[in-house]
Amino acid sequence: MRRKDLDYLVIGFLFLSGLYVFVTGLLADLMGLNRFAYHSLAGYIFVTLAACHVILNWKRISAYAANLLRFRSKERGEKVSKKGITRRDALFAAIGAVGGFSLSRFIFPLQEGQVEVKGDLGRLYHQWSSFGMTLFSGGRVNWGTRPSQYKTYPDARRVGLPDPAWKEGPPIGAVIERRRSVRRYADRLLSKLELSRLLHAMQGITEEGRAFRAAPSAGALYPIEIYAVVRDVEGIESGVYHYAVREHEMEQIKKGDFRDQVTAAGAMQAFVGESQVTFILTAIFQRTRWKYRKRTYRYVLLEAGHIAQNLYLAATALGLGCCAVGAFRDQALDELVGVGEDEGEGSLYLLPVGKLS
Ligand SMILES: Cc1cc2nc3c(=O)[nH]c(=O)nc-3n(C[C@H](O)[C@H](O)[C@H](O)COP(=O)(O)O)c2cc1C
């Protein structure tokens, strides 16, 4: 192959890799991907090709640079091409564009709706929300519909909580080994400090500047809200409360003993109402949906898992018992905490915590 042909080939690939850099950069931005590997790869390919192009045209480039630097007349130096885009360049660009389009359109087409449901809608959702070769189906940012990151009840009575800082505690390894689901609780009061630490472990702000929280969240969008059905906590009236994350306070939504209602909502599992406090995790889906679209439901459930595990570990470290409960009546739980479809908020998890017997 002649040097000139090789150069044209490099130019063609350079054009394609530039396109690749652009598309992967755009995707990384749209899908909120940090350090997207394909984008880095695209960058390396682009830089390598650019280096090849420079090497192949070194004479021309150096002559041109010498001309510029030394103010030589154009007649004395090597001539700089003024051809612009040749037919060959255009051909390479066209081949690249058609090839890329065909690849995504015909060779790796969108897989949507091709899975048989077979009694499990989850499988269909899983496939529908998968990142395929046509990644754009995964999400498109819609800034206009981004809801507030903090829910508040302006008329609610607020209850302050003590500083949740842990001065000392058992080693994390021992806590992981000791963690179990506990369904029997002693009839003793939970302290305000214990409650404060449990809430902080789930959603407390751990980095003031960026307001990052104790549990990870896709895009730091924090779709999960926490409610607490308080029964026996020192210095706190029984009732249903909402956790005000920003202020690390509780907002009283309802007063009274809701033991029976929470047990009924928890599919009549008695321990749910016997704990000193029962946490309810809900999600405001739009907080994640405006950015992650189809991936929303996946991310929200994953985040609920992170939060629940933090609670399990904090409870274990404090010598308390916790049990995750997935079997609950959604509507009853939504009603108990006063949320629902209309507000775009729904219950995800029920987590009783109590004193060990
Ligand atoms: C998503 C999920 C849902 C659960 N739902 C219930 C439940 O409704 N009732 C219950 O008694 N335990 C429930 N559990 C607790 C499991 O039964 C428990 O984690 C399992 O038996 C293992 O025990 P361990 O947690 O002590 O390791 C649930 C756990 C998970 C992760």
Helices (H), the chain: 3-30, 37-56, 58-70, 87-102, 121-128, 172-178, 192-203, 259-265, 271-274, 286-292, 296-317, 330-337
Q: Say whether pLDDT at 138 is over 50.
A: no
Least confident of 4-8, 89-93, 285-289: 89-93
Residue from 230, 233, 256 nearest 352 by CA: 230
What the chain holds in terms of domains, given with CATH numbers, is: 3-107 (no CATH), 111-138 (no CATH), 143-355 (3.40.109.10)
* pLDDT given for residue 140 in this prediction: 56
Cα distance between residue 340 and residue 348, in whole Å: 12
Q: Say whether pLDDT at 76 is over 80.
A: no
- The 8-class DSSP code of residue 272 comes to H
Instruction: Determine contact, residues 231/238, Cβ cutoff 8 Å.
Output: yes
Mean pLDDT, to the nearest integer, of 167-189? 96
Can you list the pairs that 167-171 forms with residues at least 24 positions away whose Cβ atoms lie under 8 Å?
Answer: 169/317, 170/317
Q: Which of 181, 310, 329, 333 for a ligand 1 pocket mutation test, highest count of atoms within 8 Å of Cβ?
A: 181
Output the CA 23–ligand 1 centroid distance in Å: 43
The mean of the pLDDT values for the chain is 88
Cα distance between residue 202 and residue 213, in whole Å: 8
Residue nearest to atom 9 of ligand 1 (CA): 325
* pLDDT given for residue 116 in this prediction: 61
Q: What percent of the chain has pLDDT over 90?
A: 57
Instruction: Determine contact, residues 308/351, Cβ cutoff 8 Å.
Output: yes
More confidently predicted of 134 and 304? 304
Q: Which of 311, 325, 328 for a ligand 1 pocket mutation test, highest count of atoms within 8 Å of Cβ?
A: 325
More confidently predicted of 134 and 98? 98
Residue from 85, 105, 86 nearest 97 by CA: 105
Q: Which residue has the tokens 């130096």?
A: 77
List pLDDT tens digits, range 280-317: 999 999 999 999 899 999 999 999 999 999 999 999 99
Mean pLDDT, to the nearest integer, of 93-102? 83
Mean pLDDT, to the nearest integer, of 199-205? 98
Mean pLDDT, to the nearest integer, of 23-32? 78
Contact partners, residue 290, CB within 8 Å, separation at least 6: 141, 142, 143, 144, 145, 146, 147
Residue nearest to atom 12 of ligand 1 (CA): 325
H/E element, 321: strand 320-322
- The 8-class DSSP code of residue 190 comes to B
Cα distance between residue 337 and residue 356, in whole Å: 26
Output the CA 184–ligand 1 centroid distance in Å: 14
Query: What ligand 1 atom has the least distance to the C-alpha of 181?
Result: 26
Output the CA 8–ligand 1 centroid distance in Å: 63
Residue nearest to atom 29 of ligand 1 (CA): 324
Contact partners, residue 165, CB within 8 Å, separation at least 6: none
Q: Say whether pLDDT at 342 is over 90.
A: no
Least confident of 6-20, 86-100, 126-140, 214-228: 126-140
Rounded to two decimals, the pTM is: 0.77
Beta bridge partners of 181: 322
Instruction: Determine contact, residues 221/207, Cβ cutoff 8 Å.
Output: no
Mean pLDDT, to the nearest integer, of 25-30? 79
Instruction: Record the tokens describing residue 41, joined without a space.
Output: 């790869």
Query: What Å distances lie between residue 73 and 76, 81, 84, 177, 346, CA to CA?
Result: 6, 15, 21, 80, 75
Instruction: Record the tokens describing residue 290, joined without a space.
Output: 């405006």
Instruction: Identify the residues whose C-beta falls under 6 Å from ligand 1.
Output: 180-181, 183, 269, 323-327
Query: What Å distances lie between residue 112 and 103, 109, 165, CA to CA?
Result: 17, 9, 48
